[in-house]
Protein backbone atom coordinates (compact mmCIF):
# COMPACT_ATOMS: atom_id res chain seq x y z
CA UNK A 1 0.00 0.00 0.00
CA UNK A 2 2.79 2.44 0.90
CA UNK A 3 4.57 1.54 -2.34
CA UNK A 4 1.48 2.52 -4.35
CA UNK A 5 1.06 5.85 -2.56
CA UNK A 6 4.72 6.78 -3.07
CA UNK A 7 4.57 5.67 -6.70
CA UNK A 8 1.40 7.73 -7.27
CA UNK A 9 3.02 10.81 -5.71
CA UNK A 10 6.08 10.52 -7.95
CA UNK A 11 3.84 9.94 -11.00
CA UNK A 12 1.84 13.09 -10.27
CA UNK A 13 5.04 15.13 -9.95
CA UNK A 14 6.43 13.63 -13.18
CA UNK A 15 3.26 14.35 -15.15
CA UNK A 16 3.13 17.92 -13.82
CA UNK A 17 6.73 18.54 -14.92
CA UNK A 18 6.07 17.05 -18.35
CA UNK A 19 2.86 19.04 -18.76
CA UNK A 20 4.61 22.28 -17.83
CA UNK A 21 7.43 21.55 -20.27
CA UNK A 22 4.92 20.94 -23.08
CA UNK A 23 2.87 24.03 -22.21
CA UNK A 24 6.01 26.16 -22.23
CA UNK A 25 5.98 25.92 -26.02
CA UNK A 26 2.58 27.62 -26.22
CA UNK A 27 2.09 31.41 -26.16
CA UNK A 28 2.05 32.88 -22.64
CA UNK A 29 -1.69 33.73 -22.55
CA UNK A 30 -2.78 30.23 -23.51
CA UNK A 31 -4.26 28.16 -20.65
CA UNK A 32 -3.12 30.75 -18.12
CA UNK A 33 -4.84 29.19 -15.08
CA UNK A 34 -3.46 25.71 -15.73
CA UNK A 35 0.01 27.05 -16.39
CA UNK A 36 -0.06 29.14 -13.24
CA UNK A 37 -1.12 26.11 -11.15
CA UNK A 38 1.55 23.89 -12.71
CA UNK A 39 4.18 26.58 -12.24
CA UNK A 40 3.31 26.96 -8.55
CA UNK A 41 3.51 23.18 -8.14
CA UNK A 42 6.69 22.48 -10.11
CA UNK A 43 8.79 25.61 -9.63
CA UNK A 44 10.14 24.53 -6.22
CA UNK A 45 11.34 21.32 -7.90
CA UNK A 46 12.69 22.89 -11.09
CA UNK A 47 14.36 26.04 -9.73
CA UNK A 48 17.41 24.29 -8.19
CA UNK A 49 18.05 22.56 -11.52
CA UNK A 50 17.66 25.87 -13.38
CA UNK A 51 20.30 27.40 -11.11
CA UNK A 52 22.63 24.46 -11.79
CA UNK A 53 22.08 24.78 -15.53
CA UNK A 54 22.67 28.53 -15.39
CA UNK A 55 25.94 27.99 -13.53
CA UNK A 56 27.32 25.58 -16.11
CA UNK A 57 25.88 26.96 -19.33
CA UNK A 58 24.59 30.48 -18.93
CA UNK A 59 22.81 31.92 -21.93
CA UNK A 60 21.66 28.53 -23.22
CA UNK A 61 18.31 28.81 -24.98
CA UNK A 62 17.09 25.30 -24.07
CA UNK A 63 15.91 24.64 -20.52
CA UNK A 64 17.10 21.20 -19.46
CA UNK A 65 15.82 21.57 -15.89
CA UNK A 66 12.73 19.37 -16.49
CA UNK A 67 14.94 16.58 -17.78
CA UNK A 68 17.34 16.95 -14.85
CA UNK A 69 14.43 17.00 -12.40
CA UNK A 70 12.91 13.85 -13.93
CA UNK A 71 16.25 12.07 -13.66
CA UNK A 72 16.65 13.15 -10.03
CA UNK A 73 13.09 12.08 -9.22
CA UNK A 74 13.69 8.65 -10.74
CA UNK A 75 16.87 8.28 -8.71
CA UNK A 76 15.12 9.42 -5.52
CA UNK A 77 12.16 7.10 -6.11
CA UNK A 78 14.51 4.14 -6.63
CA UNK A 79 16.42 5.03 -3.50
CA UNK A 80 13.23 5.24 -1.44
CA UNK A 81 12.02 1.88 -2.74
CA UNK A 82 15.38 0.30 -1.96
CA UNK A 83 15.12 1.54 1.63
CA UNK A 84 11.57 0.20 2.08
Residues 69-80 have pLDDT tens digits of 999 999 999 999
pLDDT at 61: 81
Positive or negative CA dihedral for 34, 38, 41, 43? negative
First to last CA, the chain: 12
Cα(18)–Cα(46) distance, rounded to whole angstroms?
Answer: 11
25-66 pLDDT tens trace: 988 888 889 999 999 999 999 999 999 988 888 777 888 999
Number of neighbours of residue 53 by Cβ within 10 angstroms: 18
Model pLDDT, residue 73: 96
Q: What is the pLDDT of residue 48?
A: 95
The SS3 of residue 1 is coil
- What is the pTM for the complete model shown? 0.88
Amino acid sequence: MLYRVINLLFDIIRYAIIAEAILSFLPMGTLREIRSFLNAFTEPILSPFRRIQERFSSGMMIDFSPLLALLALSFLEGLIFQLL
